[in-house]
A and B are shown apart, each in its own frame.
Chain A
Amino acid sequence: MTRKQRRSILIGTCVAVLGVAVGLVLFALEDSIVFFYSPSDIAEKNIKPGQRIRIGGLVQEGSVKRGGGARVEFAVTDTAKTLPVAYTGVLPDLFREGQGIVAEGKLGSDGVFVAENVLAKHDENYMPPEVADALQKQGVWQGEKTGKKGY
């Protein structure tokens, strides 16, 4: 085998692996990234039901209703608009009314957001940055952008 052939095999393999990797990355970015919206965004932007999204805001005071079993309904607000959310499962430790949360899931055709995941941070001072930004837009949240400690 000549030196040239060796080199072309080496380069060919590299190009092939990198090509496959770039393809995978582009395909996955197309398919599996999740956009974040605030309740106001959802009201304005006409998000299609069934699309996987993240939402965030404050859990509205007095909105948490527990149904039978592990189903919970509550409303998330950025103070301008509110969005009803339904979730089945165990809520995080720091979930409570007035607390900032982020939820991932899909918007139902009835306008209720069906959450598959609810995240509240592990620190009572923590405000998820997306939520802080969304609230800042509404002129509500005045504090630091993000919370104090955590690990």
Chain B
Amino acid sequence: MIAEVGHFALILALGVALVQTVLPIWGAQRGDLAMMNVGSSAAQGQLALLLVAFIGLTIAYVTSDFSLQNVVQNSHSAKPMLYKISGVWGNHEGSMLLWVLILALFGSAVALFGRNLPPDLKANVLGVQGSISVAFLTFIITTSNPFTRIHPAPFEGQGLNPILQDPALSFHPPFLYMGYVGFSIAFSFAVAALITGRIDPAWARWVRPWTLAAWMFLTIGISMGSWWAYYELGWGGWWFWDPVENASFMPWLAGTALLHSALVMEKRDALKVWTVLLAILAFSLSLMGTFLVRSGVLTSVHSFAVDPARGVFILAIMVLFTGGALALFASRAGLLRQGGLFAPVSREGALVLNNLLITTACAAVFVGTLYPLALEAVTGAKISVGPPFFNATFGPLMIPLLIAMPYGPFLSWKRGDILGASQRLWVAAFFTLLAIIAAYAVSGSGPWLAPLGIGLGMWVIMGAISEVGFRAKAFRAPLDEVLRRLRNLPRSAYGAAVAHIGIGVMVLGIVATTAWQSEKIVALSPGQTASIAGYELKFAGVVPAQGPNYSEQVGQFVVSRGGKEVTRLLPSKRLYSAPETATTEAGILGAWTGDLYVVLGDALKDGAFSVRFYFNPLVRLIWIGTIIMFLGGLISLSDRRLRVGAPKRARVRAAQVVPAE
């Protein structure tokens, strides 16, 4: 019964989405305010209906209603409650339902917070959002219906893939989709602006908070995925340049570029064409990510259920929206007049360089991800493009970006002074040099370039701190004036500095763990010891244990350092009963200096086991860096000037909205 209610709500939502697509855009063309206002109510209605559908499916999972095919295939009555709930989006159908629910959530947020948008712009934005909903709801109802009944109903379900039964992964998809789908708002704003033909700095100010929110969620989503892969897959790595990782990384890069170019557009009325194009691209790359993951064209640990019909459908959606938006862009871009001239050395110039490097890096990732597909289609040769390709292309592009990063905020708009900026960065340069020397002294061995990488991370961190210090006149004015200035600095300035610090912290972690990771594979019999990175590990044998829905073999390792026992690590091999699957649980000792990471391998003769040890120096800084970036976004978002409905009520059809600064 509940399933039928959900199913019915889903179909009704499609109807509402159709209304939301047609009426507001039509109304905007005719200048009919009543028709335009339908958009807001439709967006709220759609959200309510999709919530009913989603809750319906969740109830089916929680109560283990095995008369639903989707529940049978992806759940099991013995599964812990957390995973019954996360099982709702741990499969293709349910995750698509979550996708449209989040889409409706964003649409309703625009309707709610966008009260002071010009009515025709708002109507067009909601209309475009509605059309995306129509496409995806049609997709769900025709090819991937989560409410399909099965008869006769089996007594037990097949269970959720055990490697997905993990807290970090439970929340990874929702965050990721908030990011992916959040970019749909920037897309809808871009298309709406192209339809109305008006793009001005106010447009950029409306788009930026949405893009920032989407970017923050995507940052956390990707970071959670990476953290999960690190401790759950047992490979000791944190990023594999797997096609599906790339699929989520490309929209992130495009979104990062968009955040920075929208800044130029907001303050200086320049880079309009480019910003609109980026807004279209960021969402198009999100759609492409969805297509790549769900069509089965890629070989990946992430592949969802494969059904050619679904792949073709999503491809059609992608071609329709990307192609349509780009065609509209091509026909209207000529109308966008460029304002705001600037010298090559200026804040604008620095942000252009940022955009150039980030989008080029994104293109390199794109080539590496899709080249194997293209080559196989053309020649039939099967190749894989692995980490060496991405390290050789993405890495070199990031180096100039990181070097230039601290300069940006020190250059003034229109015309900057690079010499003056360098002088103001001498403190940062001093700390950078110190970090490089310290890294050489401490590391002793390893690649000679690595300490320079550490210096780069320090440069970015200290550069961001220097900027705040400079604006507050630290060490140059009396303390009370410095404090007053610090209080008065806009939150967006703090947000940007914090986000940049996050990047620096992440760079430190990436460089350290890449350059100085140590790895050891040994065969150990009980009683034997192995040593790595100053730790002694004594293998005390393997003990069987029983979990809620699995049995496991737990390796016992006594970890000591300098003769003193530090802790015991218990890496295990689990055998889940439904579906019958083996997984590896790594034993990890986390510390600020680095993680000791132990994986229990196969049983050998005479009770010995093959065991793999890693020491990953400073690896936690990678995820801590992403959290700092998220916080930076949050601080920026709380800025009064950026707050979603904050821009002054624009006069409808007013000639030009003057930017606040």
Contact = CB atoms under 8 A, between A and B. Distances in A.
A127 to B, nearest CB: 11
B583 A93 contact: yes
B301 interface: yes
A35 B382 contact: yes
B385 interface: yes
Given A93-B582, A151-B304, A34 B386 contact: yes
Contacts of A124: 579-581
B556 interface: no
Most B CB atoms within 10 A — which of A54, A66, A121, A150? A150
A21 B364 contact: yes
Contacts of B343: 1, 6
A37 to B, nearest CB: 8
B388 interface: yes
A32 B383 CA distance: 10
A28 B74 contact: no
A58 to B, nearest CB: 17
Interface string A9-49: 11001100110110011011101111110000000000000
Contacts of B341: 3, 6
Contacts, number: 154
A128 interface: yes
Contact of B360 (A1, A17, A34, A145): A17
A151 B90 contact: yes
A146 B310 CA distance: 14
A84 interface: no
A131 to B, nearest CB: 10
B163 A122 contact: yes
B396 interface: yes
Interface stretch (B19-27, B57-65, B329-337, B601-609): B601-609
A91 B389 contact: no
Nearest to B73: A149
Most B CB atoms within 10 A — which of A66, A88, A151? A151
Contacts of A33: 371-372, 383-385, 389
Contacts of B161: 122-123, 149-151
A14 B371 CA distance: 23
B353 interface: yes
Interface residues of B, number: 64
B167 interface: no
Nearest to B382: A36
A18 B367 CA distance: 13
Nearest to A129: B299
A146 B164 contact: no
A90 B610 contact: yes
Contact of A21 (B299, B352, B363): B363
Given A28-B388, A70-B521, A144 B383 contact: no
A62 interface: no
Given A35-B383, A90-B612, A122-B301, A24 B364 contact: yes
Contacts of A31: 388, 392
Interface in A48-76: 54, 66, 68-70, 72
Contacts of A20: 396-397
Interface in B521-566: 521-523
Q: Which 8 pairs from chain A and chain B are nearest by CB?
A: A90-B601, A32-B388, A36-B382, A70-B610, A93-B582, A28-B392, A69-B523, A9-B344
Given A36-B382, A89-B601, A148-B305, 17 more contacts: A17-B360, A21-B361, A24-B396, A28-B388, A28-B389, A28-B393, A33-B372, A54-B384, A69-B522, A89-B521, A94-B582, A122-B301, A123-B581, A124-B581, A149-B304, A151-B90, A151-B301
